[in-house]
Amino acid sequence: MKTAFRRVPWLSLGAMALLLGAAALLQMRIDAQASDVAAQKDELLLSSPSAIQKLSLGNEGLLADIYWTRTVQFYGSHLIAHASNYDLLWPLLDVTTTLDPKLIVAYRFGAIFLSEPEAGANRTDLAVKLVKRGIAANPENWHLDSDLAFLYYWRLKDYPDAAATYREASQKPGAPLGLKLMAARVSAMGGSVETSRMIWTEIYDSSKDQTVRNKAAQELELLKVQDDEQRLDAVAAEYQHRFGRLPANAEELRAAGLLRDVPTDPEGYPYVFGSDGKFALDPQSPIEIPVLPPSAEAAPASKYK
């Protein structure tokens, strides 16, 4: 009896363990099936933002907040898991901004989530689409125009559109002068020197802030340096075409009748001629060439903060 009695608890515990294991497996299958059903429901709902809007029964703002929270959770969980599939990101943002077109944070941070190549969807095209939607719904918000210009500049390397969008942003109510400065800087980098010179001249003439005027004067100096170097490089190329070699210095260009005198930069320092056949600023010149891109002062993500 003692032996039988001792075996009963062990048999009971073993059976319980098996039952618990089976129950756990069953629950996992139920959860998986429920997750699949939920995902199917999400897919059906997310495919029609307008349908969700109709079902909201006047609670669009509240529902938009819920979907925005889901968007952040979705992005965060995928980021932590180093996942590569962000396919639901755009549908979630589509629903969120359809429900509440005034939810500025969804456009601004949503553009980050969509455009990030490593830690995001790598879909700058959708980020541009999202921000343009935000601008259409919030035409007075200069932040969104600035974000769009940033996407053109940083992600697409589309400098003309970036400069144009920065200028548009600078004309919105409350926009900081820095946007106009950025437009000029991008124009210069994109090769539109005349546009950049026009903007910097306007800033210099219209601003009463001496710091801003000093900055504008500095940028106008840099534009002149750029013009001078391009002109001098063309003269050196002409010398090479005539004599079959690069000039040794600027004096040879003057002796050949290609220059009237030794050129100097806006601060009065003569340009130096390098062995590569290019003119550059004298190392002693106080003029400093800034490192572009201009938005390097802040990382891409921090641009939206």
pLDDT (tens digit, 9 = 90+) per residue, 236-271?
999 999 999 988 888 888 889 998 887 888 999 988
Segments of the chain with pLDDT less than 50: 1-20, 22-23, 25-27, 30-38, 40-41, 43-44, 291-305
Using an 8 Å Cβ cutoff, are 127 and 111 in contact?
yes
Q: Which of 91, 108, 139 is the last residue of a domain?
A: 139
**Domain for residue 30, yes or no?**
no
**Domain for residue 65, yes or no?**
yes
**Domain for residue 160, yes or no?**
no
Q: Any idea what DSSP says for residue 154?
A: I
Domain total of the chain: 2
Using an 8 Å Cβ cutoff, are 107 and 144 in contact?
yes
Alpha carbons 77 and 118: distance in angstroms, whole number: 15
Q: Which of 108, 124, 139 is the last residue of a domain?
A: 139
Structural domain for 260, as ranges: 223-293
Using an 8 Å Cβ cutoff, are 172 and 141 in contact?
yes
One-letter amino acid for residue 298 of the chain: A
**Domain for residue 84, yes or no?**
yes
Query: C-alpha angle 28/83/48, rounded to 5°?
Result: 80
Which residues are 104's β-sheet partners?
Answer: none
pLDDT for 56: 65
**Domain for residue 45, yes or no?**
yes
**Domain for residue 269, yes or no?**
yes
pTM for the model stands at 0.58
Q: Which of 139, 166, 189 is the last residue of a domain?
A: 139
**Domain for residue 171, yes or no?**
no
**Domain for residue 67, yes or no?**
yes
